[in-house]
Amino acid sequence: MKSILLIGLGRFGTHIAMKLNELNHEVMAIDNNEERVNAALSYVTNAQIGDSTNGEFLSSLGISNFDACIVAIGDNFQNSLETAYLLKELGAKKVIARASRGVQEKFLLRNGADEVVYPEKQLAAWTAIRCTSEHIRDYIELDSDYSIIELSIPDEWDGKTIIQLDIRRKYGINILGIREYGKLNMNMLPSTVLNKGKTILVLGPHKAVQKCFHI
């Protein structure tokens, strides 16, 4: 269990708070809107109304005691930038900030943020990939070269083992797991048989995945 400071309780921040609560982490939530703060009380450990650009207010929270600080402000980039900077100045161990444009990502990384999440860009990539093939179930871009994709087992793979397919040697792609009836099995062996009706989780270079699965 980790202690997280979450700043910003808009739609994005609210979803983060709910997921962190589901994962049993302790969450201190901050927003300057009383209505948003009150709405979050049922799924955060504590919540306060406050201005995150006020150094004195942030200092009173004991920033260095949190395992991570998330800046989820989406409607005012200046406030987001100032907040990230102040958090780092006050000894934050890790600052994760939201960006909505590429230039914002660059500014945040130069001014306190250790990591930047770009929800619109990431969702756009996910949607575009999903639209390219009816076989794709999920998609996670790890960096500019590699991704993890969950997709249906191709018809021509039905009944074959991982070693028979040998896609690691042919394409540089690794099969990480198989999902069946909602359960994910990550114990992959060369003798594991692949069957239609299941989905597989694969890791590999974008171009190799596209070639292998005809995306």
Q: Name every residue whose Cβ is closer than 8 Å to that of residue 176 and which is 6 or more positions away in sequence.
A: 148, 186, 188, 200, 201, 202, 203
Based on the structure, what is the number of domains in the chain? 2
Q: Please count the other Cβ atoms lying within 10 Å of the Cβ belonging to residue 129.
A: 20
Are the beta carbons of 67 and 86 closer than 8 angstroms? no
Rounded distance, CA 210 to CA 37, Å?
45
Which residues sit opposite 150 in a β-bridge?
Answer: 138, 201
* Same domain assignment for residues 27 and 111: yes
Domain boundary among 98, 117, 136: 117
Does 126 share its domain with 107? no
Query: Do 34 and 91 have their domain in common?
Result: yes
Type of residue numbered 204:
G
- Of 160, 152, 139, give the one whose Cα is nearest residue 206: 139
Please list the ranges in the chain whose pLDDT falls under 70. Answer: 125-126, 129-130, 132-134
Alpha-carbon span 62 to 35, nearest angstrom:
24
HEC per residue, 108-138: HHHCCCCEEECHHHHHHHHHHHHHHCCCEEE
- The pLDDT value recorded for residue 134 is 66
Range of the domain at 52: 3-117
Amino acid identity of residue 171, one-letter, is: Y
Give me the pLDDT at residue 113, please: 92
Do both 112 and 7 map to the same domain?
yes
Same domain (yes/no): 62, 163: no
In this structure, the answer to whether residues 7 and 76 fall within a common structural domain is yes
Tell me, yes or no, whether 83 and 147 share the same domain.
no
CATH number at residue 112: 3.40.50.720
* Shared-domain flag, residues 11 and 73: yes
Asked which of 117, 148, 170 is the last residue of a domain, the reply is 117
**The pLDDT value given to residue 133:** 66
Is the pTM higher than 0.95? The answer reads no
Tokens standing for 77? 């980039």
CA 88/CA 52 separation, integer angstroms: 13
Q: What is the pLDDT at residue 211?
A: 82
Q: For position 145, which CATH number holds?
A: 3.30.70.1450
CA distance 46 to 3: 11
Give the CA distances from residue 125 to residues 104, 131, 147, 211, in Å, rounded to whole numbers and listed in that order. 18, 10, 11, 18
One domain for residues 75 and 128: no
Residues 180 and 97 in one domain: no
Q: Are residues 23 and 5 in contact, defined by beta-carbon separation less than 8 angstroms? A: no
Taken in order 21, 25, 26, 29, the sign of the CA dihedral is: negative
